[in-house]
Every structure is written in C-alpha cells, then in structure tokens.
Structure 1
Amino acid sequence: MFIQHGFYSLTRYERVLFLEMKGAWNQETTRAFQQDIYQKSAVLHGQPWTEITEMSDWELFTPECEPIIVETVKQAVANGLTREALINSKGSLKLHLFEKYKEQTLYFDKHIAFTRHVFTDMEAALQWLKSEGVDVPNEFK
C-alpha cells in the first residue's frame, strides 16, 4: 500500500456537500475520498442533496482511480444526489471523466433526476443552484 497523493477536503453544510480536490490523486486518496463521502452523505440518504465540487487545482489521477470515482458518483446519485456544480476555473482535460459517463446507464439510472453543470467560478455555480431550487447554506452566501 502506498501513501496518499493529492488532497481533498469534504465538508457538509446542511444538505450540501462541498468538495475541494487538489493535486494528483492515487488509488489510496481516491479510496479515502470514497469512504469519506459515503460517511458524510449517509445522513442525507432518502432526501435530495447537492454537491459543489471545486476542482480547479485537481490534476490527473492514476488509471485505477477512474472506476472508483465512477462508482462513488453512481452510489451518491442512488442515495439522493440530485445536483452537482463543478467549478473548474482553469479549464483542463480532466473533465473528460465526467463527460465520458454522462449518458451511460452504467452511470445514471434514468429514473433519477440528476443534473451536473460545469462553471468557471463559484458565483455562477451558486446562481445556478439557487435557480434549481437548492437552499444554498449561509457559508456560501
């Protein structure tokens, strides 16, 4: 087993999870993130919840991380994740992962209403979430 490479921070504010991703992730960091999001979102299961993902400083990840990330998002959607605002101010190729699985049934159950949008700044992301009826916590206002 290797030590974790890369960094993430995951904080829950009411029914919104805020994820900040940085650096280049290896499998150990990805597994730690997976366990953390399962734990922090468990209290939200059965009700709609939202994720704000700041990924401007996230770099590449090792190949074995991709299926873990896909499974993590799939499980989050099954457990009530309805909206995700991705913030990527640097515009890079790392968004391919999110586009790659966008329409595949492997990724989303057609009966679950899940929407993801990419933004270049937090303000635009928050405006979109508000327009979608998300009660944005005071920490983001």
Structure 2
Amino acid sequence: MKYAHGEYVVSRCGAIMAVQAQGPWNLECVVKFAEDYLSEREGLAGNRWGDIVFVTGESLFVPDAADALKSLVKSVMKLGLSHIAVVLGNSTVRSSTKMQLEKIYNSLGIAHVFVETNDQAVHWLESEGYLVDKRALAIHYLKSPTNPN
C-alpha cells in the first residue's frame, strides 16, 4: 500500500487496471496514485481497458482531490480507459462515495457501474468484452491488508 492520506494498490491484470483504495483521500495521495497508475498502465498503450476499483473505509475525496481524480480519468480516457466498475462492498460511506464518483464519471461520459462484490465487477467487465487475468487479480488482492477475497 502507498500512503499519503489515503492508501492504494494498483496493478495491471490483463486488459484491466485493478485498484484497491482506502480513504479518505487528499490531493497528495491522488497525485501519487496518478503517477503509479500511469506507470502500471504503460503495457496497455494503444488498447482499450477497464478499471476495477475496490474502495474500503471512509472512501471520500476532499474537493481538490476529487478534481485531480477527474483530471486523471479524463486524461486516461484519451489513452483507452472506457469502463469502470466500482466495488462498494467495504466502503463505510457507500452512498456518499457513489454520489461523488457518479458526478465525476457522468460529467466525463465514461461507462461505469457500482457493484457490491469483485465477482460482479469482473462479470460486468467480461460482459463488456474485456479479458480479465483472474490469476493476476488474485495476486493483486494479496498485496493489500484490505483483501476483498
């Protein structure tokens, strides 16, 4: 986990970027996350990909962090990000998190879904045509003390 007022783990799993994030998040954390996310996604250059974002804890953004996340999503949409599945199962502030992310995603016009479990997220992304490397995803989840499996 990377820490800067908020924690996260990010990995590439096939045509999916997997993110485990525990909030709340400030601008410093989102900026560092953006650097790590962009570095991990380099292997997807020229291809479209989806995200699975598993949020835990008090999964909220302060306003400047939300703006930074919106800028990140907008920039990576130009590189190929086209679908985001957000797993809310372990968020302690689910409806607030959903409202905050829904506002960002709707303003950008990116396809997204909010689900309760990892399996639901994987199923939705596979139904949208993505290849999810489930072995890499399982390894990704072992990197975090907030392992959802």
Coarse TM-score class (shorter-chain normalised): 0.7 to 0.9
Residue in 2 aligned with 1:92?
A: 95
Residues 51-71 of structure 1: per-residue CA shift (max 9 Å, x gap): 110013352222211110000
Alignment match, 1:134:
130
Query: Which deviations, in whole Å up to 9, do the C-alpha atoms of 1:96-125 show, x marking residues without a partner?
Result: 222213443xx24xxxxx411110111111
- Matched to 1:93, the amino acid is S
Query: 1:13 Cα shift?
Result: 1.7
Mind listing any 5+ residue stretches in structure 2 that lack a counterpart? 139-149
Q: Matches of 2:79 and 2:46 in 1, distance apart?
A: 6
What's the CA shift string for 1:45-86, capped at 9, x where partnerless? 221111110013352222211110000111111110122111
TM-score of the two chains, using structure 2 as the length reference: 0.79
Q: CA RMSD in A?
A: 1.9
Q: Would the aligned equivalents of 1:8 and 1:19 in 2 still touch at CA under 8 Å?
A: yes
Judged with a 3 Å threshold, the aligned counterparts in structure 2 of structure 1 residues 58 and 80 are, in CA distance, closer, same or farther, namely farther
- Greater share of residues in helix: 2
| Aligned amino acid, residue 104 of structure 2 | Y
The residue type paired with residue 37 of structure 1 is: Y
Q: Count residues in correspondence.
A: 132
Q: Alignment identity in percent?
A: 24
